[in-house]
Chain A
Amino acid sequence: MTDGAACSVCDSLARARAGDAAAFADLVRRHQRMVYSLALRMLADRHKAEDVAQEAFLQLHRKLARVQSGAHLLFWLRQVATRLAIDRLRREPRHESVPLEEDPGIASEPAAGDPLLQRHLRALIGELPPAARAVVLLRYQEDLEPVEIAEVLDMPVNTVKSHLKRSLASLRDRLGGTPGAAALPGDRQVP
């Protein structure tokens, strides 16, 4: 976040805390993409993702006084979004999810790289256990370091690293074992 952007968020935060609805809407606009995407990748269901994302912002609205800075806001939203999503996953059985490929919101995004591989990866990530899934998302969607992920999820750093290592190994294995799956860069060609 640049200094200018950070000051702008702080300004909106201060005004939102004072009750300025437009300022709160600005905070939502700035962070909705991140919050919604975390929920979407965790839940693999557009409707549930929107529900969780809105709940996260509702909680923010109720607890604005606790948020002290733009960085804190980012941390707080990531933490609340993943926790709400994990809680939702634990409450509801997985087979109720709507496949992401049917979601027009996703299909309309212009894709860089191999879209087939990306779709496959998203599906495989959707099958990871909730905690591991959250770790992978925070690492690759939010670009957080393991120490930062540990703080967001309130888990030991080594547990984070363990989740990452096992999840990547699992993804690699399952990608390699799928007929027609695109080869990863650097994959050896097995005769």
Chain B
Amino acid sequence: MRVPEDMRTPITSLLALVILAVLAQQAALAGDAKLALPNFQALESKASETVSITLDSSLIALAARWLDSDKPEDAAARRAIAGITGIYVRSFTFDSDFAYPQADVDSVRKQLSAPGWQQLVQVHSRKEHNDVDVYIRVDGNKANGLAIIASEPREFTIVNIVGAVDLQKLHELEGHFGIPPLDLTNKK
């Protein structure tokens, strides 16, 4: 169907607006899957050891190039990161029990109560004084984010994975990286 010339510009503009809106929504959704991690200055000042890893999509692609498929760990990593666009880890180790302030921890938990995030697993071990929360962010029927907050007596860790999180592939990490079989399909 030919569009009359005098209508083409408005239709083109409308189409552009619709496309922009969809892209913005997708960006917003992806952005929501990425947690706004504070700089954790308070934790860092008290920690004896800090691990801070920030891998965006370009660094993940660079890392993937150097994975050696002959090594089982590398091969498992390659499978696990397919579709992942960001991996963010902050981990702090302390010399004494529960030496870390809660304020920074709470600011991250607050973000996980936003729409889209679902708590998959919440574990509280009185015996070992561990708390582990695993959240997944779902868009439609696809997971596009994973967050883990682990509080142990002398260690606090946040992991945020952005992208097409595939629980099956996470499951396939078993045997590598010290991960035992994990069934997250039955929520407790």
**Size class of B's contact patch?**
under 10
Q: Is the CB of B70 within 8 A of A156?
A: no
Residues of A within 8 A of B68 (CB): 157-158, 161
**Nearest chain B CB to A158's CB is how many angstroms away?**
5
Residues of B within 8 A of A161 (CB): 68-70
**Nearest chain A CB to B80's CB is how many angstroms away?**
15
Mostly helix, strand, loop or mixed at chain B's interface? Answer: loop
Look across to chain A and name the residue whose beta carbon is closest to the beta carbon of B70. A161
Report the separation of the CA atoms of residues A162 and B69 in the bound assembly, to the nearest whole angstrom: 9
**Nearest chain A CB to B141's CB is how many angstroms away?**
32
Report the separation of the CA atoms of residues A181 and B69 in the bound assembly, to the nearest whole angstrom: 33
Mostly helix, strand, loop or mixed at chain A's interface? Answer: helix
Considering only CB atoms and an 8 Å cut-off, how many residues of chain A contact the other chain?
Answer: 5
Report the separation of the CA atoms of residues A184 and B66 in the bound assembly, to the nearest whole angstrom: 33
Cβ of B18 within 8 Å of any chain A Cβ, yes or no, is: no
Cβ of B67 within 8 Å of any chain A Cβ, yes or no, is: yes
Report the separation of the CA atoms of residues A20 and B113 in the bound assembly, to the nearest whole angstrom: 73
Residues of A within 8 A of B65 (CB): 156-157
Residues of A within 8 A of B69 (CB): 158, 161-162
**Nearest chain A CB to B148's CB is how many angstroms away?**
29
- Segment 145-169 of A: residues with Cβ below 8 Å from B: 156-158, 161-162
**What is B's interface to A at a CB cutoff of 8 Å?**
65-70
List 10 other contacts, CB 8 Å, given A157-B68, A158-B68.
A156-B65, A157-B65, A157-B66, A157-B67, A158-B67, A158-B69, A161-B68, A161-B69, A161-B70, A162-B69
A-B contact pairs, 10 of them (CB 8 A): A156-B65, A157-B65, A157-B66, A157-B67, A157-B68, A158-B67, A158-B68, A158-B69, A161-B68, A161-B70
